[in-house]
Structures are given as C-alpha cells and as structure tokens.
Amino acid sequence: MTQAPETPARTADDLQSDLGWALGVVLRGYAKGAQHVIADVPGGPRGYQVLTSAVAGTAGTQLALANKLGIDRTVMTYLLDDLEKAGLIERQPDPADRRARRILPTDAGRAALCELQGKLQHVEERVLGALAEPDRTMFRDLLRRVATRIDEHDPLADACSPITEFADVEPATRARRRRS
C-alpha cells in the first residue's frame, strides 16, 4: 500500500497570494468593525439596510423592500415595528394603494444614518489603511465591478447572507481545527 505524499505546509507567502484568504481577512475585518458600529440599530445589519433604503428614498412599500432585501415579510413587519419604536422610520399609507405601507425616514432616522455612515467610514479607513487614497478609490471601483459581475450571474437574495454564511463557517472551521 503506497502512502500519498505529504502536502507541504503552507507558508505565509502562499496565504498572502491566496484570493480566498485575502477576501476572508478583509471581510472579517470589516464585519467585526461594522458589527460594533451597528450593534444598537434595531435589527442590526438588516435594520441598517432598511434605514439606508428609507433615507435614500428607495424603500418604497413594505412588501417591495422586503423583496428587495430578501427578508421574509413577517420578519420585515417585526423589523419595521422595532425601527418605528426607535423613532427611525415611519410607515404611511401608499397613496396609490391604501392597503400598502410606504417606509419613510424620520429626522431622527436621517441623523442616525449620518452618524452611522461616519462611523462606518472609520471602519473602512482602518480596513483599507494599508492603501493610499488613490489606491483605495481604485480598490473600491475594482471590487464594485467584480461584485456587480458576480451578482449579475448569481444575485444575492439577501444582502446580509454573505456575512451570515461567513459567520456560520467560522465556528465550524474552528471546531474542525480543535478536533485535528
């Protein structure tokens, strides 16, 4: 019986040239910082997305926003209840269909989003700190182009799912390492 040759241990140089490793490290760094910033937003990342859509004027109706963000409409109802109780959004009857509700930001919601975006900008600056400003701009542009292309072929149903999927993989990976 022949044994398979041993796989050489990966070196730091191997990891640094591995796209998956680099993307994972960047995602983890951003996710940790962003999670801290939006921890007090009702609904966390999803609440932040709803608030962002409301302030941008792209939220539309409750159902349209649930579909856009890939959030179950029952979950969306509870999320909007929490955001409304916090004074960040309000729901108003849609003039075109009084059965539907439009999601609108409050002044407090606009102010909160402005503050959150400022804090997230600091997180982004820490994550991209190794790059000079022209390189940061180029990195954002290149990343946006790659993400847009991927999303055209495999659209995200829920903007939170990459973080959730990544978070679910991490504990499993750590558990396997402990068993080894």
Q: pLDDT digits over 38-78, tens only?
A: 999 999 999 999 999 999 988 888 888 998 888 998 999 99
Q: pLDDT digits over 151-169, tens only?
A: 888 876 655 556 565 555 5
33 confidence band (pLDDT: 50, 70, 90): very high
Q: Return mean pLDDT, the chain.
A: 84
Write down the pLDDT at residue 174. 55
Question: If you average pLDDT over residues 121-147, what whole number do you get?
Answer: 94
Write down the pLDDT at residue 166. 57
Query: From CA 138, how far away is CA 149, in angstroms rounded?
Result: 17
Write down the pLDDT at residue 60. 85
* Cα dist from 155 to 15, 67, 149, whole Å: 28, 13, 9
In this predicted structure, the answer to whether residue 16 has a pLDDT above a threshold of 90 is no
Residue 101, classed as helix, strand or coil, is strand
Which pTM was predicted? 0.72
Write down the pLDDT at residue 61. 87
Query: From CA 37, how far away is CA 29, in angstroms rounded?
Result: 13
